[in-house]
Amino acid sequence: MRAVVLDGPVAAGELRVSRVAVPEPEPGWVRIKVEAFGLNRSEYHLRAGLATGARFPVIPGIEAAGTVDLAPGGEFTPGQQVVAMMGGMGRQYDGGYAEYTVVPASSVIPVETKLDWATLGALPEMLQTAHGSLYTGLDIQPGQTFLVRGGTSSVGVAAAVLAKDHGLTVLSTTRNPERLELLRELGVDHPLLDDGNLAESVRKLFPDGVNAALELVGTNVLPDTLKATAVHGTVCFTGMLSDAWTIPDFYPMDYLPNGVRLTAYSGESSDLPAAAFQRYVDLVADGRLPIRVDRVFAMEEIAEAHQVMEDGRAVGKLVVRVN
């Protein structure tokens, strides 16, 4: 089969499609014929040598969409539409950058849809991360004000759309003024240009600050996001688009504004129930959930796709169509 294999950290331009053996599943695992997979920032971290807990050689890819090819434990039926994500995919064992992938049955979610494969391939990890951040990390409630920092990323787009669907007033950021209109088209109530001093802009709109904030940029801007958040509001740290992961010499009394809560989210596929995923997929298919796919690549274009991701040139999700 065709697959992208990493023997160690490489530049984006060094990624190549190779020929490897089709993997065989053991009971409790499922072999999926991959039709499409989304690109994720964590795969850039792996490829660039920034990730921890990875083994080499490995086929990267923390998600995939396709059909069941073989399930020796009987958990799924051959030909059944499924998606898979997380659970060590593309790190501890081979992931979705291949024509076939073998994953634990616990990482597989069944789905029924007439969406094209590229659109379905964009959804698993994006929706899982957005859903988990909103409901596990932030416990959002209708009527709240909600800030997405890193709003043109795939998770940022999904989070804004899901929050609007849940009845929140949404503020979302971009560093590129040309992308403000795209945020408006996605239904964002208050698109904001992020100049590094976002708290001032937020408090001009909402003097008491927002009830909830999703941090997708990194620790370099986290103090400013905390300042934009109301007393008893919550900031959920989910993403690191800036590759700034840690807080040196963290002193909570100085770092955290009075009464503002800081949490984090980095969950698994089990955090997104199959019924919730199916509902989201149905909303996308009906045009009521405007998830944005920025570009679809062929598998042989994987080097270009990774370069676009690394450079931050996408608004929404980058997807690779396998066949």
pLDDT tens across 210-263, in order?
A: 999 999 999 999 999 999 999 999 999 999 888 888 999 999 999 999 999 999
Q: 2-125+269-321 and 138-264 share one CATH topology?
A: no
pLDDT value of residue 316 = 87
pLDDT value of residue 88 = 93
Distance (Å, whole) CA 191 – CA 245: 25
Q: Give start and end residues of each alpha helix (H) in the chain.
A: 41-47, 117-122, 124-132, 154-165, 180-185, 198-205, 222-227, 252-255, 274-285, 302-311
Is 269:128 a contact under the CB 8 Å cutoff? yes
pLDDT value of residue 47 = 96
Residue 150's pLDDT band, with cuts at 50, 70 and 90, is very high
Share of the chain above pLDDT 90, in %: 91
pLDDT value of residue 140 = 98
Q: Where are the domains of the chain?
A: 2-125+269-321, 138-264
Superfamily of domain 138-264: NAD(P)-binding Rossmann-like Domain (3.40.50.720)
Residue 271's pLDDT band, with cuts at 50, 70 and 90, is confident
Q: What angle do CA 106, 99, 295 make, to 5 degrees?
A: 95
Distance (Å, whole) CA 4 – CA 297: 14
Query: What is the tens place of the pLDDT at every residue in 113-123?
Result: 999 999 999 99
Distance (Å, whole) CA 159 – CA 164: 8
pLDDT value of residue 165 = 93
Does the pLDDT of residue 290 top 90, yes or no? no
pLDDT value of residue 243 = 85
Average pLDDT for 154-158: 92
Share of the chain above pLDDT 70, in %: 100
Pick the CATH number of 2-125+269-321 from 3.40.50.2300, 3.40.220.10, 1.10.357.10, 3.90.180.10: 3.90.180.10
pLDDT value of residue 281 = 97
Distance (Å, whole) CA 144 – CA 116: 34
pLDDT value of residue 296 = 98
Query: What is the tens place of the pLDDT at every residue in 10-53?
Result: 999 999 999 999 999 999 999 999 999 999 999 999 999 988 87
Does the pLDDT of residue 269 top 90, yes or no? no
Long-range (24+ apart) CB contacts under 8 A made by 292-300 are 292/154, 292/157, 292/182, 292/186, 292/316, 292/317, 293/118, 293/119, 293/122, 293/317, 293/319, 294/318, 295/319, 296/36, 296/118, 296/320, 296/321, 297/321, 299/2, 299/4, 299/17, 299/97, 300/17
More confident residue, 316 or 79: 79
Does the pLDDT of residue 291 top 90, yes or no? no
pLDDT value of residue 236 = 98
